[in-house]
Amino acid sequence: MKYLKHLTGIYNLSVGQITDILDETSVQKKLLLSNESIENLKGKSVLNLFFENSTRTRLSFERAENLSGLNITNFNPENSSLAKGESIIDTIRNIDALKFDFIISRHPTPGFTNLLLNFTKSQIINAGDGTNEHPTQALLDMFTLREHFGNLKNKKVCIVGDISHSRVALSDIFALSKLKANISVCAPNVFIPRNISSLGVSVCNDINFAIKNNDALILLRVQLEREAGNSISSLNEYRKFFGINSERLKLNENIAILHPGPFNKNVELDEDILDLDNLFIFEQVTNGLAVKLALFKLMLGS
């Protein structure tokens, strides 16, 4: 594949680079599931620089780092000298002085990875920057859809929920668009950015129509920590008009359902659908591990 030094977002990736990552993810998933050995990247170092909470992204990176034999350092902002007033730029300058090969970064500020690019010489992977991008989530979502459908060209995919506050939505839209899927969003108007049509996305406000007329739904969490809960009248109301449940799924029993997690149970989706075969939430987490193994191999490996 064309050399990939940093992964800051899907926006900057070519179709060929996305396809190469998904193809390598397929190889890594097979190795993972058959307990075959993963390429050892011994001697390379990685810093996990997480300023926001995370379960799936952080654990899957750490697991991939362990499986790849990387030398791992974890940064905890709460017990760092940031708490003594050291600035973020000076913190990054000190991190640069420690000469990590790789920095995996999650931060609430959109564009934070650009600070890392400006002030360090490490290779950077964006593990989520505010409401901007979450490229590894989009890659695992594309892998999950491609594994299920074979090809995303002309597949109808609807992103449901809090588009405005979601970095996953933007990365998924960039990726789906590059892979030539047919993209729509379905949400209350307060959750839909006004310029969404400029991204080649159509809008629907009727979840029953979205279920009937799509091949896949990507559900998004109502992001209470980003004040999304204040812009809708109540979570119960959201569930009533946009929640996915077994009754609604009778409209299209084969539709594939994804959610990046964590989900608000009985808000975006009801508990009674968690065991459905066409719900990929936990498969997505395994696929996320394979994506990280693929990225380490392609960005650091031989």
Binding site for ligand CP (CB under 6 A): 54-58, 128, 137, 260-262
Minimum Å gap between C-beta 198 and ligand CP is: 26
| Closer by beta carbon to ligand CP, 29 or else 259 | 259
Minimum Å gap between C-beta 60 and ligand CP is: 8
| Closer by beta carbon to ligand CP, 133 or else 215 | 133
| Closer by beta carbon to ligand CP, 139 or else 232 | 139
| Closer by beta carbon to ligand CP, 129 or else 182 | 129
| Closer by beta carbon to ligand CP, 107 or else 248 | 107
Distances in Å between the Cα of 288 and the Cα atoms of 57, 140, 156, 157, 169 are 8, 5, 22, 19, 16
Token digits of residue 110 = 């959109």
Minimum Å gap between C-beta 245 and ligand CP is: 22
| Closer by beta carbon to ligand CP, 69 or else 261 | 261
| Closer by beta carbon to ligand CP, 16 or else 262 | 262
Minimum Å gap between C-beta 127 and ligand CP is: 7
Minimum Å gap between C-beta 285 and ligand CP is: 8
Minimum Å gap between C-beta 258 and ligand CP is: 11
Minimum Å gap between C-beta 88 and ligand CP is: 21
How far is it, in rounded angstroms, from Cα 173 to Cα 201? 8
